[in-house]
Amino acid sequence: MFNKILIANRGEIACRVIKTARSIGIVTVAVYSEADADARHVRMADEAVLIGPPAAGESYLVAERILAVAKKTGAEAIHPGYGFLSENEDFADACEREGIVFIGPPASAIRAMGLKSASKALMEKAQVPLTPGYHGDNQDPAFLASQADAIGYPVLIKASAGGGGKGMRRVDAAADFEAALASCKREARNAFGDDDVLVEKYILQPRHIEIQVFGDTHGNCVYLFERDCSVQRRHQKVLEEAPAPGMTPERRAAMGKAAVEAAKAVGYVGAGTVEFIATQDGKFYFMEMNTRLQVEHPVTEMITGLDLVEWQLRVASGEPLPLSQEQLEINGHAMEARIYAEDPERGFLPSTGRLVHLSPPPVTDFVRVDTGVEQGDEISPHYDPMIAKLIVWGEDRRQALDRMRQALAQYRIVGVSNNVDFLARLVAVPSFANAQLDTGLIEREHALLFPPAGDVPAEVWLLAALAELLREQRLAQKKAVRSADPDSPWHTFDGWRLNGRAGRRLMFRAGEVAQDVGVAVVAGGYWLTLGAQQILARGSLGADSELQAQIGERRLRAAVVASNERRHVFFEGRAWPLAVVDTLHVGGAGEEVASGLCAPMPGKVVALMVEPGARVEKGAPLLVLEAMKMEHTISAPRKGVVKAFRFAPGDQVSDGAELLDFEGVE
Ligand code: ADP
Ligand code: ADP
Ligand code: MG
């Protein structure tokens, strides 16, 4: 076994590899870019070396620099993780030339599987079932169109060098073929520097089922069963599970055999995945082979009880596979959800920023969280916006699903847009719960997955108000402890006032909806007024923004995380991003001019709080402006009428711009 290895990657997979290496006594060297100087993988490794600027092309993808670090630090082997240099045959070759072990397959196997078209031709020879289609060299558009006619529509045009769901076009009719081909080739040229395509039958309502294979240098090759990765968006995996629902032992054996044959055909060594597209009636066809450790490998680990990274290290150091095919068994069911910094409501657009609050569910024997970030870390625009992988295990699918739901309900992230709420809805959708899987599930269930924003439940406003009051109380107590006279009545925050019981209002906002909560302090709690409802509330704030609340008769558990003016209420498995509206500044920050109110600084209009024409009281919030990452509320300077707004939400306004026409009344 190796004494020291270098991990040529970052994020969760670098951390994942370091963990196993350490557990078997291997010293680890991390490499990092300037953007990752404080990253978790750097903190975890025994040694870490800076390799360049943030752009991957100048750091994580520079083979020579990484090899130089390996030589300098005395690393005997390099684990490439996934992505980056993991499927780069030139890098595997270069490692060999330098006498460093590449923890992965031989360069020849990577090369053979690198292009989808060439690998299909190879698989054809090995008698692995293929999706019907054309994968030859002729790239003449008219010829390809005639092939599409022969295959029969719908067809899929695929970039031969493609990956990550890019460079694919579904074509439903001959009339659309030419344009789709041109656009696919354009995308392929830009993304992969190679515009060769193949054309294949578009399988309707397909499932993505892949087989984990493992080979060693002694001629052994086994399969570690399947993973179902049918739940995808834009051809990219969102949820993965193992075993595949509905799989029969016969089909598993047939797919396993085909995958092992595929691997053997290219002299495969190490961990690899053979991806198949499967029809609803159980036929399956080879799609491609990923010659590396896959993002979703943990579900296989959970059902086999094995550590695939440990197997990779053993095989790379020349040991035979630890187990034979007959010794491998499936135990229970596992699911993985990819937690991303992205905005599902805006086409899954990646989101960047600081993870102001990051509280994953507690890790147990059944719940695993693989991550490369901690609270306070930055999700930068330079790399993949994955925050973590959440993996759960259960005796059966039902139990795994229950644990996934519970774990997602406990996941709290503030600071970047993220897909946790979306995933929570996804695992609750009846078709997913009933394992009616195919790659179109997310699109088909759009209505359930993207429900209209809807009304904020009364409890959410009340929880936000209670947390606000408890937080103020805690601050006041802290101040009192620090000050000379902790017993001074001026420090208490229980509503004690010279003139008796204090009444005040808190105001919160969800999008453009504002909600008032009246507050009266009573012994041990608060009377909260929400519309016509009056309710007694009390509770305590724990560590990590946990809130134990008693609202009327109900005991509720929630979390309310404050970040600037944001108040993220996590309740019953959903997150409600509210904002607290500062009503203390009567007149707001806005300066009044003759007839209007002006922006106190350049910024963006976030929300209009009243309808034009509305009659408002002094202090009523009229418009919310975002500037320098803070929200500022422009309030009515006195009783009056809002004649008109001059801007709409989303508009940029300059310093001093007149925001609205306001007319005071007596
Ligand atoms: P597939 O290639 O079939 O989609 P995966 O689901 O395993 O297989 O996705 C792996 C992809 O993740 C890589 O192809 C790459 O684009 C991307 N990737 C590369 N490096 C990283 C990283 N450090 N963290 C997250 N994703 C990465
Ligand atoms: P990538 O290299 O981007 O991972 P793949 O060939 O693995 O490309 O395909 C990615 C996804 O595209 C599959 O998981 C599947 O959802 C869809 N797909 C691929 N081939 C077909 C096909 N012939 N018919 C229908 N869907 C397909
Ligand atoms: Mg693929």
Domain ranges, ordered by start, for the chain: 4-103, 106-130+204-331, 132-201, 336-448, 458-580, 596-664
CB 602 within 8 A of CB 653: yes
SS3 category, 472 = helix
- Mean predicted confidence (pLDDT) in 622-649: 87
Question: For the chain, how many helices (H) and strands (E)?
Answer: 17, 40
pLDDT of 436? 96
SS3 category, 80 = coil
Pair type for strands 270-278 and 207-215 = antiparallel
The fold for domain 132-201 equals Dna Ligase; domain 1 (3.30.1490)
Tokens of residue 612, six digits: 């034009």
Give me ligand 1 centre to Cα 83, in Å.
5
The CATH-assigned architecture of domain 4-103 is 3-Layer(aba) Sandwich (3.40)
The fold for domain 106-130+204-331 equals D-amino Acid Aminotransferase; Chain A, domain 1 (3.30.470)
Residue 494 has pLDDT above 60, yes or no: no
User: What is the distance between the alpha carbons of residues 460 and 419, in angstroms, rounded to a whole number?
Assistant: 20
* pLDDT confidence bin for 117, thresholds 50/70/90: very high
More confident residue, 627 or 241: 241
- Mean predicted confidence (pLDDT) in 260-274: 97
For a substitution probing ligand 1, which of 40, 294, 384, 387 has the most ligand atoms within 8 Å of its CB?
Answer: 384
Nearest-CA residue for ligand 1 atom 2 is 164
Nearest-CA residue for ligand 1 atom 25 is 384
Structure confidence by residue, pLDDT tens digits, 283-334? 999 999 999 999 999 999 999 999 999 999 999 999 999 999 999 999 999 9
Q: Which of 312, 295, 262 is nearest to 102 (CA)?
A: 312
CATH code linked to domain 458-580? 3.30.700.40
- Mean predicted confidence (pLDDT) in 118-128: 93
Question: Which CATH number does the domain 336-448 belong to among 3.30.530.20, 3.20.20.80, 1.10.3720.10, 3.30.470.20?
Answer: 3.30.470.20
pLDDT of 487? 66
pLDDT of 476? 86
Cα 254 → chain centroid: 34
Give me ligand 3 centre to Cα 10, in Å.
21
Tokens of residue 489, six digits: 């009545």
Longest dimension (CA), the chain: 93
- Mean predicted confidence (pLDDT) in 208-212: 98
Structure confidence by residue, pLDDT tens digits, 568-609? 999 998 889 899 887 544 344 445 554 568 887 788 898 899
CB 157 within 8 A of CB 184: yes
pLDDT of 205? 96
Which residues fall within 8 angstroms of residue 617, CB to CB, at 6 or more apart? 636, 639
Structure confidence by residue, pLDDT tens digits, 547-560? 999 999 999 999 99
User: What is the distance between the alpha carbons of residues 411 and 423, in angstroms, rounded to a whole number?
Assistant: 11
Q: What angle do CA 635, 602, 413 make, to 5 degrees?
A: 80
User: What is the distance between the alpha carbons of residues 280 and 539, in angstroms, rounded to a whole number?
Assistant: 52
Residue-by-residue DSSP string for 243-279: S-TT--HHHHHHHHHHHHHHHHHTT--EEEEEEEEE-
In SS3 terms, 17-55 reads as: HHHHHHHCCCEEEEEEEHHHCCCHHHHHCCEEEEEECCC
Structure confidence by residue, pLDDT tens digits, 57-106? 999 999 999 999 999 999 999 999 999 999 999 999 999 999 999 999 99
User: What is the distance between the alpha carbons of residues 137 and 580, in angstroms, rounded to a whole number?
Assistant: 62
Phi, psi of 615 (to 5 degrees): -90, 130
Tokens of residue 304, six digits: 């086999």
Residue 160 has pLDDT above 60, yes or no: yes
Q: Among the bound ligands, name the one nearest to the CA of residue 209.
A: 2
The dihedral of CA 192, 195, 198, 202: what is its sign? positive
Tokens of residue 23, six digits: 């557990």
Query: Could you say which DSSP state residue 424 is in?
Result: H
pLDDT of 323? 98
CB 615 within 8 A of CB 662: no
Share of the chain above pLDDT 70, in %: 95
Pair type for strands 603-608 and 353-354 = unpaired
Q: Which residues line ligand 1 (CB under 6 A)?
A: 9-11, 13, 82-84, 163-164, 237, 290, 294-295, 384, 386
Share of the chain above pLDDT 90, in %: 79
Domains 106-130+204-331 and 336-448 share a fold: yes
SS3 category, 87 = coil
pLDDT of 599? 85
**Relative to the CA of 10, which ligand 1 atom is closest?**
23
Residue 500 has pLDDT above 50, yes or no: no
156 Rama sector, left if φ>0, alpha if ψ -120 to 50, beta otherwise: beta
Q: Determine the residue type at 214.
A: F
Q: Which of 122, 131, 113, 135 is nearest to 213 (CA)?
A: 113
- Mean predicted confidence (pLDDT) in 211-215: 98
The dihedral of CA 193, 198, 199, 203: what is its sign? negative
How long a stretch of residues is the chain? 666
User: Does an H or E element contain 605, and which?
Assistant: strand 603-608
Task: Average the pLDDT over each of 556-560, 561-565, 644-648 and give the range with the smallest value.
Answer: 561-565
Pair type for strands 27-33 and 47-52 = parallel
pLDDT of 499? 39
User: What is the distance between the alpha carbons of residues 299 and 333, in angstroms, rounded to a whole number?
Assistant: 8
The fold for domain 596-664 equals OB fold (Dihydrolipoamide Acetyltransferase, E2P) (2.40.50)
pLDDT of 228? 98
Q: What angle do CA 642, 657, 605 make, to 5 degrees?
A: 70
Q: Which residues line ligand 2 (CB under 6 A)?
A: 131, 156, 162-165, 200-203, 206, 208, 232, 235, 275, 277, 287-288, 439
User: What is the distance between the alpha carbons of residues 376 and 395, in angstroms, rounded to a whole number?
Assistant: 36
Global model pTM greater than 0.75: yes
Residue 664 has pLDDT above 50, yes or no: yes
User: What is the distance between the alpha carbons of residues 227 and 290, in angstroms, rounded to a whole number?
Assistant: 14
pLDDT of 601? 79
* pLDDT confidence bin for 632, thresholds 50/70/90: confident
Q: How far is CA 511 from CA 351, 417, 452, 566, 623, in A?
A: 19, 15, 12, 11, 12
For a substitution probing ligand 2, which of 117, 135, 155, 168 has the most ligand atoms within 8 Å of its CB?
Answer: 168
Mean pLDDT of the chain: 92
Phi, psi of 298 (to 5 degrees): -60, -30
Structure confidence by residue, pLDDT tens digits, 124-154? 999 999 999 999 999 999 999 999 999 999 9
